[in-house]
Structure 1
Amino acid sequence: MLYWLLKHIVLGPILRLLFWPKIEGLAYVPASGPVIIASNHLSFSDSIFMPLVVRRKVTFVAKSEYFTGPGVKGWLTKMFFLGTGTIPVDRSGGRAARAALDTQLRVLRDGNIAGIYPEGTRSPDGRLYRGKTGVARLALESGAPVVPVAMLNLDEIQPPGKLLPKLCRVRIRFGPPLDFTRYAGMAGDRHIERAVTDEIMYELMRLSGRNYVDMYAQKVKAPTA
């Protein structure tokens, strides 16, 4: 209910009016059935605008700390993530990745849309970084098609560290679904999972026009942090 209210009554109409999104290829998102939407990650606003333009509900997972912050800010953060359909997952310990994967698999088995950022974190400089193989494992275990989507200019509208976005037209581009059923039963094979992930990242590179860096973004961000 909160998701519907935010999308259709509260935030949605305001954001559409202020940022008048230009969307390409939205018809590539199937009208029904399980779907994985895999996106590059430029800004905090990615998680607002992409679900806003997709007609169906898109479910992401996020670390549980986002739902337990203290005070008014913590409550607002929790309400935002709940309102945007985000599911809290305990990402501490060795089973963190498996917990996130199992949560998204449940979303897909219910015939819904699972959203994922294959890079695992926001790009530090706008370039596209090496994808983590969780997206491949999700696709291979679920059998769901993967729709790649490129956020084209969210880093210009809301750069990392900036609280308020600039009023500028949001541009998002969806690509044709990728079918990996030819690898059915091969989840867990690291070579297959890497090949699937690289195919998804290639499509994101093609759609976004961003330079590709064959390194994990987290490793690039670590020295700065």
Structure 2
Amino acid sequence: MLYRTLELTVAPALRAVYRPRVTGLEHVPRTGGVIVAGNHISFADEIFTPLAARRQVAYLAKAEYFTSPGLRGWAMKQFFGGLGLVPVDRTATRAAAASVDVCVDVLRQGRAFGIYPEGTRSPDGRLYRFRTGIARIALRSGAPVVPVGIVGTREVQPPGDRRWHRAPVEIHFGPPLHFGHLAERERSARVLREVADEVRVAVQKLSGQDYVDLYGSNVKTAE
């Protein structure tokens, strides 16, 4: 209900103000499970990607958003749940495995699931190595992966700035990638890496970013 309300009120306002340039929308299926995998340069990515896809896209969110006490906690739970965010406990021992299971369940419900395979926002606007979680989800679910290249959202909300700014935004969707035929090879580290790299190459072509063969989170830690 909340998502529908926002789609009828906030979404038209954002489209009018930012006029995002969207290409490849025909590659996003209107129904059924699909993985929307993109680069991550701003918090605003999670707003503009569903806006461009014209479909509700579920993302993982910290479980704390759904378990905080009191009236504020209740309000947060209703808000994030209404947006379609899915809670996951990232502190659990099997957090990574549990996250994959949650993602697969979302896809089997026929929903669109959004993921940023870099695992973190880019520290400098370049594209970093993809983690293999995207491969596990794709192989286990059999759902198609639609790559998306996001351009301009880093200028809409620069790092460390809570304010939004007017800037050109582009969202480019690519043809779906299919990996269901590799389902029985999920335990192969080589296959997982090859799948993750194939998705990364597709995203990079759409975003036009320079590539850094390092994990973005490691670069942030080093800084």
TM-score range, shorter chain: over 0.9
1 CA distance for matches of 2:18 and 2:79? Answer: 19
Under a length normalisation based on structure 1, what TM-score does the superposition of the two structures give?
0.92
Q: How many Å apart are 1:78 and its aligned residue? A: 4.9
Amino acid at match of 1:6: L
CA RMSD of aligned residues (A): 1.9
**Contact 2:52–2:171 (CA under 8 A) maintained in structure 1:** no
2 CA distance for matches of 1:64 and 1:16? Answer: 30
Could you list the structure 1 runs, at least 4 aligned residues long, displaced by more than 6 angstroms after superposition: 70-76
The residue correspondences of 1:48-63 to structure 2 (distance < 5 A) are 48-63=47-62
Amino acid at match of 2:102: T
1 CA distance for matches of 2:84 and 2:26? Answer: 22
Give the equivalent residue in structure 2 for 1:3.
3
Q: How many Å apart are 1:118 and its aligned residue? A: 0.2
Give the equivalent residue in structure 2 for 1:106.
105
Number of residues paired by the alignment?
223
Amino acid at match of 1:25: G
Q: How many Å apart are 1:181 and its aligned residue? A: 2.6
1 CA distance for matches of 2:91 and 2:12? Answer: 37
Report the secondary structure of 1:151's partner residue: strand
**Contact 2:59–2:86 (CA under 8 A) maintained in structure 1:** yes
The answer to whether residue 83 in structure 2 is matched with residue 84 in structure 1 is yes
The residue correspondences of 1:101-140 to structure 2 (distance < 5 A) are 101-140=100-139
2 CA distance for matches of 1:69 and 1:126? Answer: 33
Q: How many Å apart are 1:55 and its aligned residue? A: 2.4
Q: How many Å apart are 1:89 and its aligned residue? A: 0.7
Change in Cα spacing, 1:200 to 1:158, as seen in structure 2 (3 Å) is: same
2 CA distance for matches of 1:208 and 1:77? Answer: 32
Give the equivalent residue in structure 2 for 1:36.
35
Amino acid at match of 2:188: D
Change in Cα spacing, 1:153 to 1:74, as seen in structure 2 (3 Å) is: farther
Amino acid at match of 2:112: I
Give the equivalent residue in structure 2 for 1:221.
220
Report the secondary structure of 2:197's partner residue: helix
1 CA distance for matches of 2:208 and 2:81? Answer: 32
Under a length normalisation based on structure 2, what TM-score does the superposition of the two structures give?
0.93
Change in Cα spacing, 1:87 to 1:185, as seen in structure 2 (3 Å) is: same
The answer to whether residue 185 in structure 2 is matched with residue 166 in structure 1 is no
Q: How many Å apart are 1:80 and its aligned residue? A: 4.7
**Contact 1:3–1:82 (CA under 8 A) maintained in structure 2:** no
Q: How many Å apart are 1:169 and its aligned residue? A: 2.8
2 CA distance for matches of 1:76 and 1:152? Answer: 32
2 CA distance for matches of 1:40 and 1:76? Answer: 30
After superposition, give the CA deviation of every residue in 1:151-193 in whole Å (9 maximum; x if it has no partner).
1111111111111111123211111101113313111211111
Amino acid at match of 1:145: P
Give the equivalent residue in structure 1 for 2:208.
209
Q: Answer with 181-190 or 88-97: which moved more.
A: 181-190
Amino acid at match of 2:54: R
Structure 2 gaps, min length 5: none
Give the equivalent residue in structure 1 for 2:26.
27
Q: Answer with 156-165 or 73-82: which moved more.
A: 73-82
Q: How many Å apart are 1:73 and its aligned residue? A: 7.8
Identity over aligned residues, as a percent?
Answer: 51
Q: How many Å apart are 1:70 and its aligned residue? A: 7.3
